[in-house]
Amino acid sequence: MLRVALIQQTAARDFAPNLAFLEAQIKDAAAEGARLILAPENCAMLEPDRDAHRAKALTEEDHPLPPLFSQLAQETGAFLLAGSLAVQVAGGKLANRSLLFAPDGRIAARYDKIHLFDVDLANGESYRESALIAPGDTAVTVETPVARLGLSVCYDLRFAGLFRALAQAGADILTIPSAFTVPTGDAHWHILLRARAIETGCFVLAPAQTGIHAEGRRTYGHSLIVNPWGEIIADAGTEPGLVLADLDLAEVAYARQRIPALTHDRPFTLPPSFSR
C-alpha cells in the first residue's frame, strides 16, 4: 500500500506564509506515514494582480521553494510534488511549473502546464492566463519506486487526450494540482476528476487551493483522491489542511483488465463536414 497526502491550501500573495504552511503540512503528512505528498497549483504564491505576479516571479534557480522542498524530501524520505509555481522563462513570460522532488532531494521531474485558462465567466470573472504564462509543449511521466506518475496542472484536466496519453505511457497515478474557481469547481470538478480516473484506469490525486485569497479571489477546494474505478476515496471539503489515503496500486491493473479501453484505440477519419 502507498500512503499519499494532499495539502489543501489558501495561498497568500507572498512566499513566506505559504512556505511556512507547506513545511508544517509536509512534516505532519510524513508523520502520518505518507510517502507521496502533493501541494496544489500556485502553492508558493497566489498573486491575482497580473503586474505584481510578474514582478514577484523568480527563476527556478532563485526561487525559495525548491531548496525548501529538497531539504524536506530528504528529511522525510517522501516524494514531494510542488503542484506549481510561477518561474521566469525566456521571452518575458512565466512558466506554470510542477516540480517533483525525490527523497534524495533532487528534482525528479518538471512539467510546464500546457493548457492555459483564458475565459470569461457568467458571474463577471475574467481570466487570461496566456497574458502572463507561456504554455508548455511536453507531456511528462516519471518512474519512481512508488509508482509511475503522469503530471498535469489544473486546466489540463479538461483535455482528456493528455491523460489518455499519460496512461498509455504507463502512468499509474495522475497528479492534477489545481486552483479551480468556485463556479467551475461546483459545476465540473468532481465529475471531471472521476472521468479522468475512469477513462485511464489510474488513481487521480488532485490537491487544490481553497477559500478566499487576495483581492477577493475564491477557489473551490475539495482536494480529491479518486481510485481507478472512479470512486472518490477522499474529499478534503473546503478547509485548509491534509487529506490522506492508502492506495493499492493493484487496483490499476484490475480496473484496466475489467475495461481494457486503453488498448482499443482505432484510427478514424473525419468527414469534410466536420472541418472548422
Q: How far is CA 79 from the centre of its chain?
A: 14
Our answer to whether residue 27 is catalytic in this structure is: no
Q: By C-alpha distance, which of 155, 124, 128, 150 is closest to 139?
A: 150
222 contact partners, CB below 8 Å, separation of at least 6: 185, 189, 190, 208, 210, 235, 236, 237, 238
Integer Rg of the chain from CA:
18
Marked catalytic residue, from 43, 47, 154, 202: 154
Our answer to whether residue 202 is catalytic in this structure is: no
| Core vs surface per residue 235-256: b (16+ CB within 10 A) or e | ebebebebbbbebebebbeebb
User: Can you read off the three cell numbers belonging to residue 55?
Assistant: 514582478
Q: By C-alpha distance, which of 201, 174, 193 is closest to 236?
A: 193
Marked catalytic residue, from 43, 47, 113, 202: 113
Grid cell 499509474 in the structure block, residue: 172
- Spatial contact of 152 and 174, defined as CB atoms under 8 Å apart: yes
Return the SS3 of 32.
coil
CA dist., res. 148 & res. 141, Å (int): 7
Marked catalytic residue, from 41, 43, 47, 202: 41
CA dist., res. 187 & res. 266, Å (int): 32
- Spatial contact of 153 and 135, defined as CB atoms under 8 Å apart: no
Our answer to whether residue 41 is catalytic in this structure is: yes
CA dist., res. 7 & res. 18, Å (int): 12
Positions marked catalytic:
41, 113, 154
